[in-house]
Structure 1
Amino acid sequence: MVDQVDQSHSSIALIYMGGTFGCTGQPLAPLPAAVFLPRLQQLLQHDYPALQSFVASQNIRDSSQLEPQDWLDLIRQIQALAQQGFGKILIVHGTDTLAYSAALLAEFIPHVVPQPIQLVITGSQFPLLQPDGQDLNPHSDALRNLTTAYAQLCNSLSVAQSSCWVAFDGQFWPAHTVQKIHTTNTPTFAGTCTAQLSPLPVIQPLNLHALPSLNIAVYYALPLSPETVAQQLQSLIASSPQAVLILAFGAGNLPQHPAIETVLEQAQLAEVLVVVGTQVPYGGVNFHYAAGQWLAQFGVLSAGHLSVAALYARLASLLCQPLNFEQRQQQWRSCPHI
């Protein structure tokens, strides 16, 4: 049952993307939308009257298989629902890449949907239904998470700008702050209760057709010799990515060495964006330490307080703008990443 929820406001559309929420069987696999959505609608019809539309994404699958084309399809689906008059959308998503989808929608939707729209993304660690696909699973967190998401949408007032939230384990957080912290149990996600982060400003209209061809590489720093680090980074840059995200130690620290400096100079000449983030979940990057400050001298951009998922989303937004290398660097530096 849904308690203490104002259900008198605008209708809500639900998008089903698969994930554990709609899984059955052993091993677990998502039910096809044609099977799952009618059952879900039947279960929710009395206690969740604001849910007026149940639709499925183009591909129902485990969220670990999602790729940028899926996010383009999701954006198009949200645009279509907005054109139908839905200002509030609840998205049921697998947990593996939920934080990435949430952060990406928070970056893109304000720029590609003209009217304000409110999104809440949820999922579950345990299937909604029993293995037979009929009865509710009494041990599942699925219905509880959906109720949290539904309440967030019902209780939210009309706003002047779009917003995107993640609802899980009885809590909700701004999308850009969320990270998955447990693979199989609850609590599943952690976030911070800060204000919504404004998306990266758009100098040129986003080219959504550039989204499927994103090429972002990640380097996870380990305590290795500087020569080895340089060699590994050089291999990444030689593969011609659009951007390289370095997950460094502490507050964005990496050993300073001529070999690493040379590779970073090569990245600048190859017009590969290099952004340094941190392996630490909270606190973000700052260049207060000499071990990190030197990176800025070689054109490396700071991730600020952004998580890996939020960094991916912000880089995607930047790379979907028809800008040159210098413009992209300036755009990144001019925007706070907190």
Structure 2
Amino acid sequence: MKKILFLTTGGTIASSESEEGLVPSLTSSELLGYLGTHQQEALVECEDLLHLDSSNVQPEEWILIARRIAKAIKDYDGIVVTHGTDTLAYTASALSFMLENLPVPVIMTGSQLPLEHPLSDGVDNIRCSFAAALQDGLKGVYVCFNRQLILGTRAVKVRTMNLNAFESVNVEPAAILNAKGMEFHEDLLIRSKKEFHLADTLCKKVFLLKLTPGLNPEIFDMLSYMGYKGIVIEAFGAGGMHFERRDLVSKLEEMAKQGISVVACSQCLYEHSDFTIYQTGQKVLQQGVIPAWDMTSEAALAKLMWALGKTTDREEVKKLFETNFVNEITLI
């Protein structure tokens, strides 16, 4: 019989009502109890790792979760992690990079309604996560939500209330659960025959900035003064940044001279950025800005933290972004 580790970290799925609103309180055993008798044919071991609203899950918690998973992979056939939905995409992206060459599936899930709620979507999400964790040959980090299995680096929360909270951005879901069972898109699955490695050194000094018309370039001076080593910019459209009156391009040149790595993606949720199309984009590329193509903002931020944890050399960081590790990017 296969063994599954069921790790809980808090979030809505484990929350109960309090005088201050919903607060994570249920244990992993209590969560499992809501499945009733209809459980997967596997030995499930429970562990309460955290009891946090996902707004409080930060890089320090990513490292904690990654280290626990790294210790567990030799003893289990799969790992299911419950997590609050608000920052689940960030955590899933970070774990995707930190847990290099995972030999087992790590399935992350949560819910829009607490398990204590009679209409909760949490029971179905957990059951589907167990089904995914038991799949032979499946490897890597995935988000399981609303009967979809999404690559950890492609999941984005796009709805606050609806039960289909997550979408797979710029690629199809890795699998769909329907009346036929779990139907996989085989070409999207993570394949690695290399040895597992825990890359648990992250650079926490990375900033995500959404570009707005009229943004004062001096904001970058503040980030430099604060010691930031990397910046992810959500640029306009396919890759535009202003340089008239408020010259962002010259400021990015200064950032490059200071050794700060700058990655640029698009504010548009779908399709890829291409900084070669317009004059504004080409000027940015000339300053050494690293294009993120069709990566999500969450994945770009996590990848830059991971990359800067490996090296502070801007050219080496650029090479890492030009490499597809866990189907996080479609290179053009």
Query: Matched residues in 1 for 2:313 and 2:298: separation?
Result: 24
Quote the offset at 1:334 in angstroms. 5.1
Residue 98 of structure 1 deviates from its aligned partner by: 0.4
User: 1:105-163 CA distances to partner (integer Å, 9 max, x unpaired)?
Assistant: 1112125x6xx11111100010001xxxxxxx321111011122122223x2125xx32
Measured after TM superposition, the shift of residue 37 of structure 1 is: 2.6
Paired position in structure 1 for 2:305: 316
The alignment covers a number of residue pairs equal to 304
Residue in structure 2 matched with residue 98 of structure 1 by the alignment: 88
Equivalent of residue 243 in structure 1, options 230, 235, 239: 230
Which has the higher mean CA deviation after the structures are superposed, 91-100 or 101-110?
101-110
1:38 equivalent in alignment to 2:29: yes
**Alpha-carbon shift at residue 300 of structure 1 (Å):** 0.6
In 2: Cα distance, 1:69 partner to 1:282 partner = 30
Q: Which AA in structure 2 matches 1:327?
A: E
Contact kept? 2:241, 2:248, Cα under 8 Å: no
Read off the aligned partner of 1:261 and give its amino acid letter.
Answer: V
Q: Aligned-pair distance for 1:243?
A: 0.4
1:294 matched to 2:283? The reply is yes
Q: Is contact 1:206–1:320 with CA below 8 Å preserved after alignment?
A: no
TM-score of the pair, normalised by structure 1: 0.82
Query: Does 2:132 correspond to 1:152?
Result: yes
Structure 2 residue identity aligned to 1:25: E
Unaligned runs of 5+ in 1: 1-8, 130-136
> Match for 2:98: what amino acid?
F
SS in 1 for 2:29: helix
SS in 2 for 1:96: coil
Q: Normalising to structure 2: TM-score of the pair?
A: 0.84
User: Which of 41, 58, 76 in structure 2 is aligned with 1:86?
Assistant: 76
- Bigger CA drift: 246-255 or 282-291? 282-291
Structure 2 counterpart of 1:138: 118
Unmatched tracts of structure 2, length 5 or more: 175-187
- Residues 183, 215 of structure 1: CA spacing in aligned structure 2 closer, same or farther, 3 A cutoff? same
Distance change (3 Å), C-alpha of 1:298 and 1:108 = same
SS in 1 for 2:100: helix
> Which 10-residue stretch deviates more, 16-25 or 258-267?
258-267
Quick one: structure 1 residues 337 and 11, their matched pair in 2 at CA, closer, same or farther if it must change by over 3 Å? same
* 8 Å contact kept, 1:237–1:244: no
Q: Distance in 2 between matches of 1:98 and 1:43?
A: 22
Query: Is 1:231 equivalent to 2:218 in the alignment?
Result: yes
Out of 240, 264, 283, the residue aligned to residue 271 of structure 2 is 283
Separation in 2, partners of 1:97, 1:294: 33
**CA RMSD between the two structures:** 2.4
